[in-house]
Structure 1
Amino acid sequence: MRTRLKGLLLALALAVSPVMVQAQTNDGGVVSATTEAGAVEATPDSVKKSFEDRFPGIQAKEVRRTPFAGLFEVQVGMDLLYTNATADYVMQGALIDAQNRRDLTAERLEELSRVSFSSLPLELAVKQVTGDGSRKIAVFEDPNCGYCKRLHQALKEVDNITVYTFLFPILSPDSTVKARNIWCAKDQAATWRAWMLDGQVPPEAVCDTPVDTVLALGRQLMVQGTPAIIFADGSRVNGALPLDALNQKLETVK
């Protein structure tokens, strides 16, 4: 989905910095609204239809009104765009509440990325417990992910934590083989830890694995890279956290 969105943004000639783009007809002519700005009667449903008609093949998962009069938020996958009532213009960037000094786009993205921790199928994860295990995180990890190994270097310094690792092999066929060998090992946690921390290659083992189910779960949760860390409060961090940042985050989770 992210690749398709990037293709859309490229087609719209969007730069890296926030810009507004005027939609065009197939023959290159500019599409102009026939009503005064702000005079178009629109609902999220009508804007969704206008957007998808304007950009065939791009599905708007949700459209919402914003505090900015006449501006609508369009969710495409886990990305946010903004458009007017008739989808004549599309904008990528941060929507800022200047009066209250709030980044509304960042707040919305954080909300969209939240996961109900209690709904996760933790029985499909490799479980590691340190100390009393009172603090809990779930992590989507590829066995060959260098940033995941960096995360484990930090985790070995963290006490009283339970880590649920969803084996998420997306980087290479070898990742799938390692995921199978780790899941099928007699001691999953020890085998996983030995590989991630010490580079001890998991011995070959064969059994039924939940890898396909976990891959489907990751797609459902819009996991687009590893590690993806989900905290007990449902918040998510994409990428490895250094020790200080990890401890600080764990302290804020209630």
Structure 2
Amino acid sequence: MRLTWMKAPILRQYRRAVMAGLLALSAGGLAVPAAQAQTADNAKLQSVRDAINKAFDVEVTQVRPTDYANLYEVQLGGNIVYTNEKAEFVLAGNLVDAKTKRDVTTDRIDEISKVDFSTLPLAQAVKLVKGDGARKMAVFEDPNCGYCKKLHKELATLDNVTVYTFLFPILAPDSMTKATSVWCAKDQATVWTDWMNKGVVPPDASCETPIEKNLALGQKLAVQGTPAIFFESGNRVNGYVPAARLNQELDRK
């Protein structure tokens, strides 16, 4: 069809309208396959999730594809395993990028383990302030945890730090008794540090405590043992670490 009979302004408007229509048609045509592809991908991820759930009777937190050999990352709480599209196997161990030498699994676990420090219910924790208390950390500890006591020797060397201890009695029959006595003490921090550093048994005391809430919180945060340390940066460290590492993490922004 020839358009020479149209006046120039009208011709320009017509061409713009035609072009807009073509673009809309193109976008609509591309949107359907993209949506279909996304639906197919979601179905595939759900299929992997269902297969792992059925085979191992575990709660799968998340499934996502990796960049390696058609492997899928399966997140089980704070842990990572790998499988293929049909979930024919489960591979537990660290995936390392052969080119960059990067430990992909460790990096991913660090990422999913991060916690927004500001969301922690610090009122449920025993508070110990050293120096100006500017740097902050939170620790889940059991009164009978040997590595927690070892950690306290490192904490004694730190300065300008506030330590929030979530009493987390999971190790021994009397862990709850000791934790309750610590929480119900007039000077919680002193009684706690005297027990952890000097072995001075907390005087018997009873009151309402947040310990059950701490246990629920620990489960939510996938705390599987003590000590479990959380820093303001969002980083998390499981287990005992020396003072040098603590200072490094405390100074991290």
TM bucket by the smaller chain?
0.7 to 0.9
| Greater mean deviation of Cα atoms: 77-86 or 242-251 | 242-251
- Residue number in structure 2 paired with 1:104: 104
Contact 2:137 2:250 (C-alpha < 8 Å) held by counterparts = no
Q: Distance in 2 between matches of 1:148 and 1:191?
A: 15
Contact 1:140 1:168 (C-alpha < 8 Å) held by counterparts = yes
Cα displacement (A) at 1:69? 4.1
Q: Distance in 2 between matches of 1:215 and 1:70?
A: 38
Contact 1:51 1:86 (C-alpha < 8 Å) held by counterparts = no
Letter of the 1:50 partner, please give it.
Answer: A
- What TM-score do the two structures reach when normalised by structure 1? 0.80
Mapping of residues 142-161 of structure 1, within 5 Å: 142-161=142-161
Structure 1 unaligned regions, length at least 5: 1-39
- Residue number in structure 2 paired with 1:5: none
Cα 1:218–1:148, aligned 2, differ >3 Å: closer, same or farther? same
- Residue number in structure 1 paired with 2:201: 201
Structure with greater helix percent: 2
- Residue number in structure 1 paired with 2:176: 176
Secondary structure at the aligned position of 1:92 is classed as: coil
Secondary structure at the aligned position of 1:74 is classed as: strand
- Residue number in structure 2 paired with 1:52: 53
Q: Distance in 2 between matches of 1:51 and 1:206?
A: 45
Asked if residue 239 in structure 1 is aligned to residue 239 in structure 2, the reply is: yes
Structure with greater strand percent: 1
Q: Distance in 2 between matches of 1:218 and 1:139?
A: 10
Cα displacement (A) at 1:99? 2.2
- What TM-score do the two structures reach when normalised by structure 2? 0.80
Secondary structure at the aligned position of 1:43 is classed as: helix
Cα displacement (A) at 1:56? 4.8
Q: Distance in 1 between matches of 2:204 and 2:241?
A: 31
Structure 2 unaligned regions, length at least 5: 1-39
Q: Distance in 1 between matches of 2:56 and 2:101?
A: 36
Q: Distance in 2 between matches of 1:90 and 1:146?
A: 34
Cα displacement (A) at 1:98? 2.0
**Percent identity for Structure 1 against Structure 2:** 54
Contact 1:78 1:222 (C-alpha < 8 Å) held by counterparts = yes
Q: Which has the larger radius of gyration?
A: 2
* Superposed CA offset, 1:80-102 (max 9, x none): 11111111122122222222221
* Superposed CA offset, 1:57-90 (max 9, x none): 2222210110114210111222211111111122
Equivalent residue pairs, number: 213
* Superposed CA offset, 1:5-43 (max 9, x none): xxxxxxxxxxxxxxxxxxxxxxxxxxxxxxxxxxx9762
Secondary structure at the aligned position of 1:48 is classed as: helix
Output the aligned Cα RMSD: 1.6
